[in-house]
Amino acid sequence: FLHGIDTDPRRKLFVTTVANLARVLGARVIAEGVETEPEFKACREAGCDLLQGEFIAKPFIKNANAKLFYDHVRAPGLGHKRREEQDRIRNELIKLPTIQFDASMNELLDMVVHNQEGNVVPVLDSNQEPRGLIHERDLKAYLYAGGPDDADAQAALDFPLRSFVRACPIADIDSNADMLLVTFASSINSDGIIVTENFRYAGFMSATSLLKIIHEKRLEEAQDQNPLTRLPGNGSITRFISDSARKGNQDRHLCYLDFDNFKPFNDTYGYRQGDRAIILFGELLQRHISGGGTFQGHLGGDDFFAGFNNTDQTDVAARMLALKRSFRLDVESFYEPEHREQGYIEAQDRFGTTRQFPLLQCSISILTLPKGFTIRPDLLNDEIIELKRAAKQSDDGLAVKTLGE
């Protein structure tokens, strides 16, 4: 099933959805039959926990042939924003004392009495993998029981420790903040999340700490959003372009979209109507450009951006033209009937000359970076300027260029 996951967006989306669902349910996903590096990267990006296949290692019979590490599949360095988020998650972890699953009740009660840091105790198995939590409130009856001569108290100490273990959401340290929140929300009345690293206990994150991380992330996102369309702004767009320019493991398409004859429209109908046209285009952009491997952004004013990864150029162009048609038809409702009927408005150009301007539409420039091609991000500027000029001059308002050809 995984064959071709690196070139089939639908297959990758399906695997991503399954991996996310499994993570919420506390299960692990093992991707089998990974034979190439692109398939390996696609499975890792989809969120698979474990990978198996000839790309990692050839089949062997003797355990002695297994290696602890395989250098060619080491995870690459994280991006700046992702690294910041992971550091924030690590800083919020609490290293609560743990207890083994086969420990006695006496050991548990001693730990609870001497541990003043928290009201929960993580329970681990012999592999240091978490099995759940024991809550202090469930032990009150035993903590306040009678002395050593109390038969009921002594009988209670014979209960197996597993009787007090409650399920707790578990997430990997590599999970982003949004996935931590989804995992937490899937459990009712949870005090927090157990965080693991390589499946072993790494710490406990309280609900308060998780909400703090989510709040900080949402605040950063809001600062980068365009206030009019709520789309990602220049910071997010710049990071997407930089990542696309440096990563040559798949086809990438950078699309720039801007309105034609927007100034005359604003001069005639006012900036309020101009803002309505911008909001309309932002909504259409999100409707036409969605799914895995896509990105939408608002550069400002009437300039927008869309990005595609691992998608055919023909499909990208078709989706862009569909967006262009939808905008042209929908924005006509912003004009007076007279202007719609004649197909133009009369307004002054930037030189003060009164001319006829066609109704609003958009120009689209598509810059393709083919698989295997990388470039310094700053070298893209001249290509983009030239392509935008070509789009304005073309009959259909579309210009497409593939670098490296």
Q: Classify the phi-psi angles of 389: left when phi > 0, otherwise alpha if psi is within -120 to 50, otherwise beta.
A: alpha
Indicate the pLDDT class of residue 40, thresholds 50, 70 and 90: confident
Where among 214, 247, 264 does a domain terminate? Answer: 214
User: Are 51 and 105 within one domain?
Assistant: no
The chain-wide mean pLDDT, for the chain, equals 86
More confident: 259 or 198? 259
Which residues have CB under 8 Å from 65's CB, separation 6+? Answer: none
User: Are 254 and 381 within one domain?
Assistant: yes
Residue 232 lies in a domain: yes
Quote the tokens at residue 246. Answer: 């440096």
- What is the C-alpha separation between 350 and 359, in angstroms, rounded? 17
Which residues have CB under 8 Å from 66's CB, separation 6+? Answer: 57, 60
Are 165 and 120 within 8 A, CB to CB?
no
User: Are 118 and 48 within one domain?
Assistant: no
Out of 16-20, 86-90, 107-111, 241-245, give the one with best mean pLDDT.
241-245
Please tell me the predicted confidence (pLDDT) of residue 328: 95
Residue 169 lies in a domain: yes
Where among 51, 76, 101 does a domain terminate? Answer: 76
Indicate the pLDDT class of residue 334, thresholds 50, 70 and 90: very high
SS (H, E, C) the chain: CCCCCCCCHHHHHHHHHHHHHHHHCCCCCEEECCCCHHHHHHHHHHCCCEEECCCCCCCCCCHHHCCCCCHHHCCCCCCHHHHHHHHHHHHCCECCCCEECCCCHHHHHHHHHHCCCCCEEEEECCCCCEEEEEEHHHHHHHHCCCCCCCHHHHHHCCCCHHHHCECCCEEECCCCHHHHHHHHHCCCCCCEEEEEECCEEEEEEEHHHHHHHHHHHHHHHHHHECCCCCCECHHHHHHHHHHHHHCCCCCEEEEEEEEECHHHHHHHHCHHHHHHHHHHHHHHHHHHCCCCCEEEEEEECCEEEEEEECCCHHHHHHHHHHHHHHHHHHHHHHCCHHHHHHCEEEEECCCCCEEEEECCEEEEEEEEECCCCCCCHHHHHHHHHHHHHHHHHCCCCEEEEECCC
More confident: 285 or 119? 285
Buried b (16+ CB within 10 A) or exposed e, 41-66: bbbbbbbbbebebebeeeeeeeeeee
Amino acid at the residue 249? N
Residue 19 lies in a domain: yes
Please tell me the predicted confidence (pLDDT) of residue 38: 81
User: Are 72 and 182 within one domain?
Assistant: no
User: Are 240 and 372 within one domain?
Assistant: yes
Buried b (16+ CB within 10 A) or exposed e, 148-164: eeeeeeeebeeeebeeb
User: Are 136 and 188 within one domain?
Assistant: yes
Q: Of 6-15, 226-235, 287-296, which range is least confident?
A: 6-15
Is the pLDDT at 313 greater than 90? The verdict is: yes
More confident: 326 or 172? 326
Residue 4 lies in a domain: no
For the domain that residue 94 is a member of, what is the CATH number? 3.10.580.10
Q: Of 47-61, 121-135, 191-205, which range is least confident?
A: 47-61
More confident: 159 or 214? 214
Residue 82 lies in a domain: no
User: Are 208 and 104 within one domain?
Assistant: yes
User: Are 61 and 157 within one domain?
Assistant: no
Domain limits at 66?
9-76
User: Are 50 and 157 within one domain?
Assistant: no
Where among 163, 184, 214 does a domain terminate? Answer: 214
Digit-coded pLDDT (tens) for 247-256: 888 899 999 9
Please tell me the predicted confidence (pLDDT) of residue 271: 92
Please tell me the predicted confidence (pLDDT) of residue 77: 52
User: Are 320 and 255 within one domain?
Assistant: yes
Please tell me the predicted confidence (pLDDT) of residue 143: 61
Residue 3 lies in a domain: no
Which residues have CB under 8 Å from 68's CB, separation 6+? Answer: none
Q: How many domains does the chain have?
A: 3
User: Are 235 and 116 within one domain?
Assistant: no
Indicate the pLDDT class of residue 148, thresholds 50, 70 and 90: low
Is the pLDDT at 79 greater than 70? The verdict is: no
Residue 221 lies in a domain: no
Are 57 and 70 within 8 A, CB to CB?
yes
User: Are 240 and 168 within one domain?
Assistant: no
Residue 1 lies in a domain: no
In this prediction the pTM is: 0.67
Quote the tokens at residue 238. Answer: 């710049």
For the domain that residue 392 is a member of, what is the CATH number? 3.30.70.270
